[in-house]
Structure 1
Amino acid sequence: MFKSLRYPFIIAIAAIGFLSIPFSSEAQVYREEYGQNRIQYKYFNWKYLKSNNFEVYYYDGGEDLAKKSIGYLESEFSRVTETIGFFPYSKTRIFLYNSIAEKQQSNVGVKGDDFTIGGQTDFVKSQVEVAFSGDYASFKEELVFNFTKMLVEEMWFGGNIAEMFQSTFSSPIPNWFIDGVSAYVAYGWNKEMDDMARDYVLQEQPAKFSKLSKEANLLLGQSIWNYIAQTYGKRDISNILNLARIVKDEESSISKTLGVPYKDFMEGWKAFYSQMNLRIMESYKRLPESQIISGSRSKTSTIGHLKFNAEGSLLAYTVFDNGKYEVRVINMDSREEMVLYKGGIKLLAQEVNSNYPLLSWVDEFTLGIVAYSEGRNTVTIKRVGAKGEQVLAIPTISQVQSFEFKQGGRLAALTGVVNGKSDAYLFLVNRGTIRRISNDSYDDRDISFLPESNVVLFSSNRPTDSVYVEGPIDLKDVSSNQFNLYTYDLDLVDSVYGKLTNSLSVESNPIAKNLNEIYYLSDQQGVNNLYLHTVNDSISKQMSNYSFGIKEFTIDQNNNRIAFISTLDSKDVIYLENLGNIQHIFTTATPRRELESIRILSEIRRKRLLDTENTDSLNKAKKITEVPKQPKIDSLKLGAIDTENYVFKNESKVNSKDYKFEAPVSDEGTNRSFLSLYQNRGLKNTIEGPNAYEPRFQTNNVVTSFVIDELRSFSQLLEIQMNDYLENHRLHGGALVPYNFNSGFDVFLEYEYLKEAIDIKAKYFRKSILLRDNTTTQSQRYNLNRFELGAAFPFSPYLRLEVSPFFEQTRYIDLDYLLLLNAPSGIVAEKTANYLGLNTSVVFDNSLTGGTNIHEGTRAKLTFESHSKLNKNAVGFNKIEADIRHYQRVTKGVYLAGRVFFGHYGGKAPKSYLLGGVDNWAFNKREAVEGSEPDPFLLQTLNDNSDILFNQFTNLRGYSYNTFQGSTVLTLSGELRLPVNQFLATADTKSSFIRNLQFLGFYDIGSAWYEISAFQARNDVNTEEIVVPGSPFSGVINDFSNPWLQSAGVGMRTMLFGFFSRLDLAWPIQDFNVGNPKLQISIGYDF
């Protein structure tokens, strides 16, 4: 049996390989358009500032942030480009958003990475989107991270067209490589990365990086680049990146640059952090797993916040998973858990604010949940054990960083962002209004109330207790690693801030047990641990020595215990500890903290020295009556020649036979690399603007691939996608041309406007089919032109309604040249039909793309389309279709996928569905028409077969095209998909064939009919009416055959010769008989 299949298989593979050589990778034509939406809750009036290397775009409320950002980016430009060894091809465009929630309204990337078109070459754009993170300290690091990541991607994928096309054939770069180096440049050796790396190397069988979350990949990648910098030197970072740019392989670039095999290099990385663990464990301890009371269920979810109620009987905490969250409550007596509240939307392709939701108890059984929903911040009041909730809007605030109710629930304190600036506020719950506490450019975090008082407690990077200091003007002066604790008395107007601590570390999450004892977290020794500050004697003590940092904690005062979040095996877990077991302890600083402390002290000394020099200069200037203005010397150009004012010296003769060269200058401060000189070739940086944003189009994607059309066989597909910077305006055009250039062609052009809440589109589509009989003179052309104007109404990121009125024209032309010689009188060899129609669709898509041909979630599209006649040659008809697909992950490496498709043509001239075959099928076959069925491919002189423009081919594996036909069709398909790569437990696979290889088992069933449904005992398939012309008698024959076509089989999917290829071996089951297996080879994704 299989022997007979071997030769067609070899021929087909060779044909696909030959045809794929000239084109780019990933050929695909995907029939249904799904996709998610972005909803605009506000109008963005964009403006921009311009400097030497950047254009920073902002909208209302973000001008001050934009000025700070462009100045800071210019100050960091040289450091970043020298570190990675790459200079951008053009100015970088930075789009600033006032909050992460507002950034989620952006249309950039809304189409996602869903492999819906073929041979695509994505163009790398010199632009990034950055949302204000809630405070300047973290925001300036986010700026550098996003800018660095953009540079590395441009470096890897290419900034010119040749490099972009070349990169389409290379292996995908792992997340840890790009994200990791970007994080290292932006954050350095921080405590989050240190904790993650040390936890990972302690695991006996750690998962490979590709199986971990994106955040884990970032932190572990950051730790690898930190290891390179600490062990081999920072200069090797740029060497590795530039070699990777050439060889397109990160492992090879690391091993060749450092001179060690990649396996040995990774062992050295593990040993580096393992030695760190050994040193830390001398004065730190690991928490026993017996103290864990709860934890996250998966590696992709994190625990955000937790709160005891006042009595300590209930513990509420949040579980966050890429935008979707749950609020759970633990009964501390029974240890039973319940889900109190669910919210949010899971988003993988967008940045999400993991700080939401925030929790604060109103009373013993009532919890306040702060989140962002439908364009506003809200606090949801939810009572444990009761149905329903009360929702209160928090005005003015664009994002909330911390929130706490005062006892009684009528007043709340919060830290939040207004106009791109973080301050402390009061929320008057009954009035629904906001009152300001602080008003400066310092960052305020983690606000709470002192018990039974009107004093608020918070963490801030302000160095002074004065309320009248404006704070730093430039982001470079904002402290990222020095946050101390402060109090503010609400009863004393314009009172000073009470400064409780004064350290060179980040102190956060302060919680007052009483008026004297304040617990908080600090990384003073390198690991976030618990500290106690006593107000009476102003002494702070370290109270815990856990080897992995505490992320957040809460106190149960009644039972004298704390619950806190920490990490175990790369997952977040909640520990419970009795405060009585926590005693004052002292630990040594970690190696990371030692280096950080040296850097902080060095920076403080440098600033003090600079301040002293400035003061001395001012004093000297007062004593001098008049001094001629001197040009400012640029230290980066010391020793350069002023070509504008150069004066030649007197000529002197040089003895060239006995010339002695001058000794080289030994001042290292003037020795600069060519790259450094090139970067600093310009004059002093100037900032221009603001200027109004004007849409400028750029190429986003180019498609060059082939399609195996059901009627026109092998065809060339050419597409181009263009959009403006913000992707509010989109142009999409293309053409489909058969390789024989004699079977017709398709052309389309589409424009979309996505800036407003309602999306608008205009589309033109032309389809031309040429039918020709090479043995006769018969030849006919069928043309279809369609002009469409549509609107989409998004109800959520998953659901939208599309309404598109259109004008459609079909034209039939008989090209038989014999008609020109001897055409009967009155015979017209050309007909034009005009239609006016309306297409209405409901689209639902909450699916997540986990890789090539790997989905989770549901997609559905319900469509009704009507065609009303506009002239005598047209006959009206309509169509209704439903395409529903669901993808379910069963377990690791096992996925179930199911599809239901229903279609029905109605009206006076219904068209046909042709059941059987698959899309893009190489060596396809058609089933011959038998009996009284109409021939959808009929070519006959003076016969208008314009239905060929509307007839639809419907997939059913194991059969030829048009095995069944009818005006109604119903198919069901099920697949069990097994991606091989997910079963591989060790290193990431480099082979594109293996990485994309999937095996599957499938079952298909379907039927098509014109009048009598296949669900009836007597139907179109098994019933035939015999009518003899001129006879008064007729008969009906029922052969009781099964009206349902079925097939079962196995398949394989993988990337072959640059195309995602499908190979299906199907056993057709027709009329209860299992037929011979049929091998079908095609290209494309999904079903």
Structure 2
Amino acid sequence: MTGRLYLLFLMGICLFSAEAIAQSSNQVKFGKNRVQYHKDFDEWSQYESDNFFVYYYGKSRNAAHKVVQMAEYDFDEIQALLEHRMNEKLQIIVYADATDVKQSNIGSEDLFVSSNNQTKVSGTTIFVYFDGNHQHLREQVREGIAAVYLNTMLFGANIQEIVQNAVMLNLPNWFKEGLVAYAGQTWNVERDNELRNILLSRRYKRFERFADDFPRLAGQSMWYFISEKYGRPAVSNLLYLTRINRSVESGFLYVMDQSFQSVVQEWESFYRSRYESDIKGRQIPQSVQTVTLKKRKEQLPLTQLKLSPDGNKVVYVLNDLGRTSVYLYDLQQNKKTKIFREGYRNALQATDFTYPLVAWSPTGQQLTLLYERRDNLKLATYDVFKKKMTNELLSEQYQRVYSLDYVDNFSLVFSAEVSGQSDIFIYTPRTRQSQRITADIYDDLDATVVNVRNRKGILFTSNRPDIFLRPIKPDSILPVGSLDVFYYDLKGEIRELVRVTNTPLASERYPMGVDSTYFSYLSDRHGIYNRESGFLEDYIREYQQHIFMKDGAELVWPMDSSITKLDSTQIDSIQVRPVIRERAVTHIETNLPYHLSQQHSAPLSGKLVESYGALGRRSFYINRLSPTNSSAPATTFFRGREKQIEQLIFVKDTSKVSGMPLQNNRAPNTPPANATVYEVSELLPLPPQPKKDTTPVVQVKEEPYLFQSEFDNPKSATLTIEKPVEETKPAVAVTPTPARPSETLAPVNGLSFPLQMAPNRKLYILNPTRAIPYRLQFRSDFVTSQMDNSLLFEGMESTAANPDGFQPPPPGILLKANVKDLFEDYEFEGGIRIPTTFNGAEYFVTFQNKKHRLDQTYAVYMRNTRFNDDSPTLVPRRREYNILLGQYGVRYPLDVFRSIRATTTLRRDRMVQLATDRATYNVPDQTSQRLGLRLEYVFDNTVDIAMNLRTGTRYRAFVEVQKKFSVGDEANFDINFNKGFMTVLAADFRHYQRILRHSILAGRFSAATSFGSERILYFLGGMDNWLFPQQNNDIPVPSGNFAFQTLAANLRGFPINIRNGSSFALVNTELRVPLFRYFSRRIQSPLFKNFQVLGFFDIGTAWEGKTPYRDDNPLNTTKFPDGPFITTTVNYFRDPLVAGYGFGARTTLFGYFIRADYAWGIETQRIQKPKLYLSFGLDF
């Protein structure tokens, strides 16, 4: 009867608990780490705008400036999309790069899991970083704002709403992740190509299966389909009705007037029809040689692919979740060699695909690798023939390097980030000196060296709107346009670039040299990345008046400028001369059905290596360079749709190119009429700029004077000059122009400005001087109340306090509060647990300092428990047991998964005999003090995939020493260390392996031993957090000086104390099967979603002495007293090993994770009666 009432009481507590959180049943502390390799985070500052607080540190200042403008620029659009508003300002934390994000303490190690291309959000705080591309930065900002608004809209703003909606509104991952991605960018070429490959491969037959593997892509494609088919307002309507009805199916039914499955069928038909049309007529050219990677490496991203100058070797880089490997492949011998490996697999944080970068030296004898180790950039040189590698640190001015190539045998060209800007540099390793080519706010990437027209230059991609290399005021523009290809002449006298492409909606990547005439690059202008080739030619950009004065001065004026202000009597003569510049002529070379993801050439050998972004086995291909090949790919449906929108948004400059190729610069067989010459406006697709200043900019040079406007003439002069080349640029080498197959002539000089996408949208002007230092501010992270019976602070009980054996703590109400600062460098946590027996209240307070790499923890724990004593009289006797524990711990992380930890413990155990009569009044208190030190090594790379289901490995090993001492009273203060000494050695190894797609096979081995003048008594049997624990009193407790006693679990099938001793070893194996996940993927109820069945097998032993099989093992000896002088000792055999097997079930009930196990024990080869176990918390 008492047990039933007790159970009803527990269920009542569960029902009325304010917030129930699953408590882990395992008391061993593992955990991942955040490693701070520098002290850049010591000083933070902040900008405050109308709707945001933006925090930054030294290296991220420039990026933060742009983040403020981006956030304010897109804020109203995100609000309009989601139709939701918030009263409080959002917080954005800006980091200099992806490596710094991983060093931040913000977000718990289990919940703060980030993936690639996904903005990190915690509460109302957004985390963004600069990767060299401002367009990516803007997408992060947009996604972050949308994620915060979506969480607030769906789950509420206060704790009560969050808890209520989190239970009732169980949305699939694709719904939330896809909507956030859609808000960041509705759809793009990369997502279109990825979805095309998946759908046409017919790899998935059900949307749910596809959404499980690719939730972000599936969700974004669904939201884009809804906006295209039903209109953009349907997005906010569906979001609103889903929240109101707490069901995705109901939302689709109300908004689309049809079921979710019907919409899925429309979604598939929508994309499949357009994709089948997209690939018609496209084909992959036959390759000279194909290299296919091994099957186990087929899905790993191929991040670098470079062909040696002689065309006989290929170096490529594979990235396995952060563990990178560099391979050298011999194409003649079909043999590969791993020459470099760096990093480790990290599934918890976004993978950085930037490093390592590789480049061949011009001679082909050396390979240069640029990689990152512990936030330091290193430059390694590998000798291909000697097979030796040398390393050196890169200059500290470089925050990130995005591309690498050789200029000559002694210098390199970088696309690198310095002070928050990505620019082009030439770096000399021997002297560690740098030459900066560009220095502005625009993004400069993919720098590569080419030799065209007998000159060496640099091809790179950039989102700059013009060809002029000049400083730009940071507030004047947001550099978020698409990437175009530009050419920089290393020997040129004029500080101007040559524009190769001008595609406002498309982007170009990976330019490369082909021969002394041609170059090529990848472009997605038709919706699929194909190779385009081109060459440079001279042309007359404009004509200028050269005015020679009688005093010998020479003035240069544009043709349309009036000279009436000059004194005509001082003019000696006037000459009209052409201004000759270079421009690019390009054409499309390939027509592929999917993206050409990478390319690299060896011009001397006439070969190139390339890879395609298709599903299936990962391969790369060796082909012949064929820059004169021409193709006319059709435009994909998505790109065609974008062009329709472009015609409505962008106003194109229809003026013709103000110049023409020089007649003597053309190939004899190519008439000028064959060229398609037109002007394409150099427009950026997104943000506005200040009003254009039409005042000519006058540049004054030393005599002779030169007055030249940086703007182009709207009209071309129609003058005939007899000898233009001789009169202007005698140093220019005029080379024949190749034949032009289906060419496009790029604009070269126009200075065009981005238009506003909305007339009322303005660029937010930020005053950098308004930045203020960040001051420490704390916030409440959580306040919880829950039923709990776990062991706190290792759970070691004093043997003197419990001579009858180990007693697990009864269930109690655990009240806990947590307070953190904004960056979670400092954390306070306090709690109290009141047991249901109202005896043995526990109190604890902890403080963590994680500001730097060495984490520090301070903790205080106290507990008071009262016991009844046997009394020889009618007056009852009671004792009070008090524990006061102080801890100081440090953790030194070696990396994200490994750490070395040390903990110092000062403990006082005091036993007080409560006075109930004269005899008990005179009983002195028993007090013992101990000082302990623990050193441990911890590894943990596990990843939670669902409740109580994880994959990976975790283990720890530690050694602990404790020394007992005594302290004299105040009158005779003395510290005596001449008492007991104890040493503990322990290890715990666990591995989790996924099988049958959703199930987990979990294994654990744990062992410990204690020795010295004092020891620990381990009780084997039962399980963690057992609600109704039972004791086995038939197993004798060995004699000895045991200071503490604790539980060694789990060993199901037996009560506690089936074996005991100062050492134990235990093996647990469990197969955890989430049953209902195999029948349906859209389970809403946590009761069924988290329901698991499992089978288990436990085996272990505990013993006293050296081995469990020694003859005088107390386990096999029982003593029976017979009178005051006679004791009978009986020896018999018990197998030290005991085992248990059975089955169990797990589920979430009232917010708690409930475990039920039914087990049979095996002792001395005999199966025992089964036992039922009920317990709280997660499994090991």
TM-score, length of structure 1 as denominator length: 0.84
The C-alpha deviation readout for 1:150-197, integer Å capped at 9, x for no partner, is 221222232212211213313543332222222222222210111122
Change (3 A) 1:331 1:809: same
Q: Who is 2:1161 aligned against?
A: 1068
Counterpart of 1:912 in 2: which secondary structure?
strand
Change (3 A) 1:133 1:124: closer
Change (3 A) 1:578 1:223: farther
Q: Who is 1:567 aligned against?
A: 613
Q: Who is 1:411 aligned against?
A: 411
Q: Who is 1:351 aligned against?
A: 350
- Cα displacement (A) at 1:48: 0.2
- Counterparts of 1:594-993 in structure 2, within 5 Å, are 594-600=640-646, 602-605=648-651, 689-708=770-789, 711-741=808-838, 743-772=839-868, 777-815=876-914, 819-823=915-919, 826-828=922-924, 830-871=925-966, 875-889=980-994, 892-931=997-1036, 933=1038, 951-980=1046-1075, 983=1078, 987-993=1081-1087
Q: Who is 1:1086 aligned against?
A: 1179
Q: Who is 1:304 aligned against?
A: 303
1:539 paired with 2:585, answer yes
Q: Who is 2:331 aligned against?
A: 332
Change (3 A) 1:572 1:245: farther
- Counterparts of 1:173-572 in structure 2, within 5 Å, are 173-206=171-204, 216-285=214-283, 293-294=292-293, 297=296, 301-333=300-332, 335-362=334-361, 364=364, 366-382=366-382, 389-395=389-395, 396-408=397-409, 410-451=410-451, 454-470=456-472, 473-474=475-476, 477-481=478-482, 483-492=483-492, 495-504=495-504, 505-536=506-537, 538-555=584-601, 557=603, 560-569=606-615
Q: Who is 2:1089 aligned against?
A: 995
Q: Who is 2:704 aligned against?
A: none
Q: Over aligned residue pairs, what C-alpha RMSD do you find?
A: 3.9
The C-alpha deviation readout for 1:694-723, integer Å capped at 9, x for no partner, is 221122233322124653422112222221
What residue identity is the alignment partner of 2:775? Answer: E
Between the aligned partners of 1:246 and 1:612, the Cα distance in structure 2 is 41
Q: Who is 1:1046 aligned against?
A: 1139
State the structure with more CA Rg: 2
Counterpart of 1:888 in 2: which secondary structure?
strand
- Cα displacement (A) at 1:328: 3.4
The answer on whether the counterparts of 1:411 and 1:429 sit within 8 Å (CA) in structure 2 is yes
- Cα displacement (A) at 1:821: 2.2
Q: Who is 1:635 aligned against?
A: none
What residue identity is the alignment partner of 2:1030? Answer: K
Between the aligned partners of 1:889 and 1:365, the Cα distance in structure 2 is 45
- Cα displacement (A) at 1:753: 0.8
The answer on whether the counterparts of 2:1037 and 2:1060 sit within 8 Å (CA) in structure 1 is no
The C-alpha deviation readout for 1:485-524, integer Å capped at 9, x for no partner, is 2222334466322223333331110011112111210011
Change (3 A) 1:931 1:262: closer
Change (3 A) 1:365 1:919: farther
- 553-562 or 508-517, which deviates more: 553-562
Counterpart of 1:62 in 2: which secondary structure?
helix
- Cα displacement (A) at 1:765: 0.9
Change (3 A) 1:593 1:50: same
- Cα displacement (A) at 1:892: 3.2
- Cα displacement (A) at 1:525: 1.1
Counterpart of 1:350 in 2: which secondary structure?
coil
- Cα displacement (A) at 1:213: 9.3
Between the aligned partners of 2:12 and 2:413, the Cα distance in structure 1 is 68
- Cα displacement (A) at 1:229: 1.0
What residue identity is the alignment partner of 2:1005? Answer: V
The answer on whether the counterparts of 1:782 and 1:946 sit within 8 Å (CA) in structure 2 is no
The answer on whether the counterparts of 1:68 and 1:474 sit within 8 Å (CA) in structure 2 is no
Between the aligned partners of 2:284 and 2:4, the Cα distance in structure 1 is 59
1:21 paired with 2:116, answer no
Between the aligned partners of 1:427 and 1:1015, the Cα distance in structure 2 is 70
Between the aligned partners of 2:817 and 2:619, the Cα distance in structure 1 is 48
What residue identity is the alignment partner of 1:790? Answer: G
Change (3 A) 1:719 1:334: farther
- Cα displacement (A) at 1:303: 2.5
Between the aligned partners of 2:29 and 2:689, the Cα distance in structure 1 is 66
The C-alpha deviation readout for 1:277-335, integer Å capped at 9, x for no partner, is 13313343478999673488479742222122223333232222332323334443454
Between the aligned partners of 1:467 and 1:305, the Cα distance in structure 2 is 30
Change (3 A) 1:779 1:573: farther
Between the aligned partners of 1:507 and 1:154, the Cα distance in structure 2 is 38
The C-alpha deviation readout for 1:563-585, integer Å capped at 9, x for no partner, is 43333348865455555699411
Percent of pairs with identical residues: 24
Any gaps of 5 or more consecutive residues in structure 1?
1-6, 116-121, 620-675, 936-944
Q: Who is 1:1009 aligned against?
A: 1103
Any gaps of 5 or more consecutive residues in structure 2?
114-119, 539-583, 654-680, 697-758, 791-806, 969-978
The C-alpha deviation readout for 1:598-646, integer Å capped at 9, x for no partner, is 4445554299999999579999xxxxxxxxxxxxxxxxxxxxxxxxxxx
What residue identity is the alignment partner of 2:929? Answer: N
State which of 63, 79, 98 in structure 2 corresponds to 1:65: 63
The answer on whether the counterparts of 2:514 and 2:627 sit within 8 Å (CA) in structure 1 is no
What residue identity is the alignment partner of 1:698? Answer: R
- Cα displacement (A) at 1:97: 0.6
Q: Who is 1:39 aligned against?
A: 35
What residue identity is the alignment partner of 2:780? Answer: T
TM-score, length of structure 2 as denominator length: 0.78
- Cα displacement (A) at 1:431: 2.5
- Cα displacement (A) at 1:738: 0.9
Change (3 A) 1:220 1:291: farther
Between the aligned partners of 1:806 and 1:778, the Cα distance in structure 2 is 32
- 336-345 or 66-75, which deviates more: 336-345
What residue identity is the alignment partner of 1:506? Answer: S
What residue identity is the alignment partner of 1:913? Answer: Y
- Cα displacement (A) at 1:254: 3.0
- 457-466 or 165-174, which deviates more: 165-174
The C-alpha deviation readout for 1:323-362, integer Å capped at 9, x for no partner, is 2323334443454555443222333333332232222223
Between the aligned partners of 1:800 and 1:516, the Cα distance in structure 2 is 56
What residue identity is the alignment partner of 2:224? Answer: N
- Cα displacement (A) at 1:133: 1.6
Between the aligned partners of 1:268 and 1:167, the Cα distance in structure 2 is 30
What residue identity is the alignment partner of 1:392? Answer: E
- Cα displacement (A) at 1:473: 3.5
Change (3 A) 1:55 1:215: farther
Change (3 A) 1:306 1:165: same
Change (3 A) 1:339 1:219: farther
Q: Who is 1:625 aligned against?
A: none
What residue identity is the alignment partner of 2:642? Answer: E
Between the aligned partners of 2:982 and 2:634, the Cα distance in structure 1 is 81
Change (3 A) 1:832 1:155: same
Between the aligned partners of 1:113 and 1:237, the Cα distance in structure 2 is 28
